[in-house]
Structure 1
Amino acid sequence: MRIFRTRGFTAPLLVMLVIALNGFGTLIVLPLVLTDVTGLSTFTLGLFLVPGGAVISIVSALGGRVYDRFGPRPLVIPGAIIWTATFWLLAQADEGTSGWTILAIYLVMTGAQALMWGPMTTAALAALPDHLHPHGSAAFGTVQQLAGAAGGAVLISAYTIGANAPDAGALNVAASVSASQTAFATAGVLAIGAILGTLFVGKAPAPHRASPSPMPGTDSIQP
């Protein structure tokens, strides 16, 4: 439990909890929206999600250089604001919204998420002494898995409530629009927590180094 006493670790961990919760939940809800609202086929849906990986790779590479020079705050605070805004934009989507518009919003979302993911992980582990790094890494992995599972449950629950369907049958377009808007509005509210969390993330701490051991036979030498 010692890792949770360090604010430099706990704040990024809580931000990552929100990121994982919304990120994994969106990957479940977004395909439902694309098929039920915009009418994309399964094959087109698969192609739709491919560019997100490329955006994450590019943004992560460029963000690493910024992090090394300026620390996490110039990346994570704008990233959290943009990321939150994309959920509210998706919450406005309806049957008149084109697939290209949703694709553009999705790519901005993945890019903003990449601005936060790497810096949050690096900043959190850098705040811990070397001997606590394994515990911090394990905590990060556990939190992401639990938050991912919870995110799917939360957003699918919001999607179901928003549909307001009398039975569990296939939804019509109007019900699908209402469901998706409710789900993404819920994600937008949760994402505000990420913005607040990034405000407590400080500059990248100096790496912890073990104190050098004295040379043999010099313990009694005084300056």
Structure 2
Amino acid sequence: MNTSGAAAAPAALDLGDVKRLPIMISLIIGAFFSILNETLLNIAFPELMIELQVTAPTLQWLATGYMLVVGVLVPASALLVQWFTTRQMFLGAMTLFAVGTLVCGVAPQFSVLLIGRLLQAAGTGLMLPVLMNTILVLYPPEKRGAAMGTIGLVIMFAPAIGPTISGLILESLHWRWLFFMVLPFAIFSIVFAFLYLKNVSKPTKPKVDVVSIILSTIGFGGIVYGFSSSGEGHGGWTSPQVYGTVIIGTISLLLFVLRQLRVKEPLMDLRAFRYPMFTLTTLLLIIMMMTLFSTMSLLPFLFQGALGLTVFASGLLMLPGSLLNGLISPLMGKLFDKFGPRALVIPGTVFLVVVMWFFTRVSVDTSKITFLVLHICMMVAISMIMMPTQTNGLNQLPQRYYPHGTAILNTLQQVAGAIGVAFFIGIMSAGQRGFLEGSSDPTLPAQQAQAMVAGVHNAFMIGFGFAVVAVILALFLKRTKAPTE
């Protein structure tokens, strides 16, 4: 047996008398509102641009920065879940999130709002691994599909419904209420978890590898920062600020990978990639997160900037797809337990390709019903892919890799989402600029609307290409079983 990383695995407690339901409720309440905040502000971006007097590429740091911090913190979570109990991790994470929510609500300017978002993200980054690792410990492989489907109500439903809730609130209230209305739920989550959340693992307190933490922070941070800066103008990819940080980030990540393969107790045990279905799962989830978060960011700009819809109408347009996505996630989990991943993921990726192609054909004359149907179809396709793929990949790992597997997936999903938002908004902004530069009168509202559509078209074409890659990867999926230790 390869014992590398074994010492780092949290020791399982006797769970014979543990009631799963209160633990699940505690985790789901906290996770829902922290993950909800990843997209809660998206539909308010046009309004925030005016009130805070910042550009779209600058404002997207409220979304990108959130996912960047989550992505930077999650690698360390594989270590933290072995140093602290389930209760300590969750209560600490939700306290950070609540403080950040309060800061956002009272923020007088963009910089303070960004600081609050980063504090919220720190709480989310520490909480997500607790959620996933607890599911792996509480449920045997043959029951994980249904359990992960329930978690899908949180991981998929929360960010999907964020724009809808935001639109409903912004129709009659100031954007600060996006945070003031979340704060009581965050506090309730802390109180409920304090009363009912039980520990499901015993800390083993492995050695802290400070060098690995530094390398992963510079690596993931540099890459995401570079992609995010590419859309802000000032030379784009030719700017030293952009390609320099990407190069530094890439070198740091390579050094991080080499170190993880050499040390006895790695921060993130990359030997999990020796399991082929886990590797395939990682690639598929990266594509799905880029598609999900970039689309959720692009559509509000399209609806409000090109179609002239209000924030309420934009949110209402995205409500049915968001609701359906959450409602069918548990069903997809049960279907996965019964039929395996291929029966869901292959049709799901093909469906996504068709939907993304139709998104490349939209215009200012496209009807609201068409956008409604396209959004519903996209959310159904993503639901068919995400949870079955993730459950299948994690099922192949031995228990000693659970903290590392969940940390790897959560890290790369958040980083992919952050890069996706920055990358696609950058493409959209570049397309807008290109159209307006060739316009006879770029100040005309009609020309600005056409410019927005042109920019979104360019972004959706790239998304279509990613979806085609996802179909190819899905063809190689196989059902997995937990290996014997």
Are the aligned partners of 1:38 and 1:99 in contact in 2 as well (CA < 8 Å)?
Answer: no
1:217 matched residue in structure 2? none
Secondary structure of the equivalent of 1:206? Answer: coil
Trace 1:1-223 onto structure 2 (pairs within 5 A).
1-163=270-432, 164=434, 165-166=436-437, 172-203=448-479, 205-210=480-485
CA shift, 1:59, in A, is 2.2
Calculate the TM-score normalised by the size of structure 1. 0.88
Number of aligned residues: 209
Alpha-carbon distance in 2 for matches of 1:56, 1:160: 29
Cα-to-partner distance string for 1:101-160 (whole Å, 9 max, x where unaligned): 111100100010000110011001001111111110011110111000100111112212
Question: Is the 8 Å Cα contact of residues 12 and 198 (structure 1) preserved in structure 2?
Answer: no
CA RMSD between the two structures = 1.8
* Shift in Å, 1:209: 4.5
Q: Share of identical aligned residues, percent? A: 31
After the TM superposition, list the runs of 4 or more consecutive aligned residues in structure 1 that deviate by more than 6 angstroms. 167-171
CA distance in 2: counterparts of 1:56 and 1:134, whole angstroms: 27
The answer to whether the Cα contact below 8 Å between 1:95 and 1:173 also exists between their aligned partners in 2 is yes
Deviation at 1:199, TM superposition (A): 1.3
How many angstroms apart in 1 are the aligned matches of 2:474 and 2:402?
21
Q: Hey, what's the Cα distance between the residues in 2 that align with 1:126 and 1:81?
A: 24
What does the per-residue CA deviation read over 1:78-123, in whole Å, with 9 as the maximum and x for residues that have no partner? 1011112211101100011011211110010001000011001100
Distance of 1:71 and 1:145 partners within structure 2: 26
Confirm or deny: 8 A CA contact 1:34 1:99 kept in the other structure. Answer: no
Alignment check: 8 A CA contact 2:322 2:376 kept:
no
Deviation at 1:24, TM superposition (A): 0.6
CA contact (8 A) 1:38 1:98 kept: no
Distance, in Å, in 2 between the alignment partners of 1:42 and 1:206 is: 46
Q: In structure 2, what residue type is equivalent to 1:117?
A: M
Q: Quick one: distance in 2 between partners of 1:39 and 1:33?
A: 9
Single out whichever of 76-85 and 45-54 deviates more from structure 2: 45-54
Taking the aligned partners of 1:174 and 1:206, their CA distance within structure 2 comes to 51
| Matched residue SS, 1:208 | coil
Which deviates more from structure 2 when the two are superposed, residues 170-179 or residues 153-162?
170-179
Q: Which amino acid aligns with 2:437?
A: P
Q: Distance in 2 between matches of 1:95 and 1:16?
A: 32
Asked if the contact 1:60/1:114 (under 8 Å) is kept, the reply is: yes
What does the per-residue CA deviation read over 1:58-81, in whole Å, with 9 as the maximum and x for residues that have no partner?
321221222111100010011011
Higher RCO, 1 vs 2 (CA within 8 Å, ≥6 residues apart): 1
TM-score by length of 2: 0.41
Matches of 2:399 and 2:379, distance apart in 1: 31
Q: Distance in 2 between matches of 1:9 and 1:177?
A: 38
Contact 2:360 / 2:460 at 8 angstroms: preserved in 1? yes
Unaligned residue ranges in structure 1 (runs of 5+): 211-223
Compute the displacement of 1:52 (Å). 2.6
